[in-house]
Amino acid sequence: MGTVTSIGTRPKGDQRLTVPPEPPVYGGDGEPERFRRRLRLYRLGVGVGLMAVLMLFVSFSSALIVRQGLGNWDAATGLYRRDWRSIPLPRVLVLSTLVLLGSSVCAELARRRSLARARESLRAGFAGAVGEKSRPWLGYGIGLGIAFLAGQVFAWRSLLQSGLHMYTGPASAFFYLLTATHALHLVGGLIALMYAGWISAFSLDLRRGAVLVDAASWYWHAMAILWIYLYALLLFGT
């Protein structure tokens, strides 16, 4: 009967060095590393999506700047006249901007709290449990986001009542185009925040909820920064 050797060793006649088994990934089960890898992948996905959004609004901004310098020939005088007429922006947009910034702050607090809870669960060695009490920052952020959209609707109605429609002139057309397109992207962000909040509140896996809240919050921050840019563009460009 042959000699039985243990796994990972060589017979005595073989003088080659024994290759030790590879150590486990990050603490035994690899959960912290998997959590960080998933976090990076979701952030990368959000970044790629935001690049497409950025290119869209860059094209809109370029079109606005070019259109400001265009006009038409006046047949009576033989002169080239610009037809761009600035429009007064509704004052509610100032309040809406502050509301959206407050919503972004709430989303950031929710993101940090969610990541902290996920890391606590990793250190403790369990996924998490339902019923942990914490301030519902994500809910506050969602509520303020809805309030911002309501402010946008109020601004549109205010312009319509003053006689400024989509086809009144190029300035009003760009106002409706930019604000409506931003509002559509913001609705997508609201849906993402609501879904992330649902998973975070009712899922037994805190890590999954933390990843979703993190990704949705970064998208929401980008929408807030984008709105500040658009508001400045509308304020000084239209």
Longest Cα–Cα distance of the chain, Å, equals 114
pLDDT value at 15 more than 60: no
Task: Indicate the pTM of the whole model.
Answer: 0.80
Cα separation, 204 vs 210, whole angstroms: 12
What pLDDT digit, counting tens, does each position of 125-183 carry?
A: 655 544 445 568 999 999 999 999 999 999 999 999 988 888 888 889 999 999 999 99
Digit-coded pLDDT (tens) for 80-111: 667 778 888 999 999 999 999 999 999 999 99
The beta-strand segments (E) located in 1-102 are: 71-74, 79-82
120: pLDDT confidence band, cut at 50, 70 and 90? confident
State how far the Cα of 128 lies from the Cα of 38, in Å rounded to an integer. 17
Q: How much is the pLDDT for 170? A: 87
pLDDT tens for 178-198 read 999 999 999 999 999 999 989
Report how far residue 43's alpha carbon sits from residue 58's, in angstroms, rounded to the nearest whole number. Answer: 22
* Predicted confidence (pLDDT) at residue 4 exceeds the cutoff of 60: no
DSSP symbol at 131: T
The pLDDT, as a whole number, for residue 125 is 66
Q: Return the number of other C-beta atoms located less than 10 Å from residue 2's C-beta.
A: 5
- The Cβ of residue 178 has, within 10 Å, a number of other Cβ atoms equal to 22
Question: How long, in residues, is the chain?
Answer: 238
Taking only the tens place, the pLDDT of each residue in 208-236 is: 889 999 999 999 999 999 999 999 999 88
Could you read off the pLDDT of 50-80 as tens digits, one per residue?
A: 999 999 999 999 999 888 877 666 666 666 6
What structural domains does the chain harbor? 31-62+89-237 (1.20.120.80)
Q: Which two tokens stand for residue 166?
A: 């989509």
Nearest Cα to Cα of residue 194 among 101, 99, 132, 103: 103
pLDDT digits (tens, 9 = 90+) for 30-45: 678 888 899 999 999 9
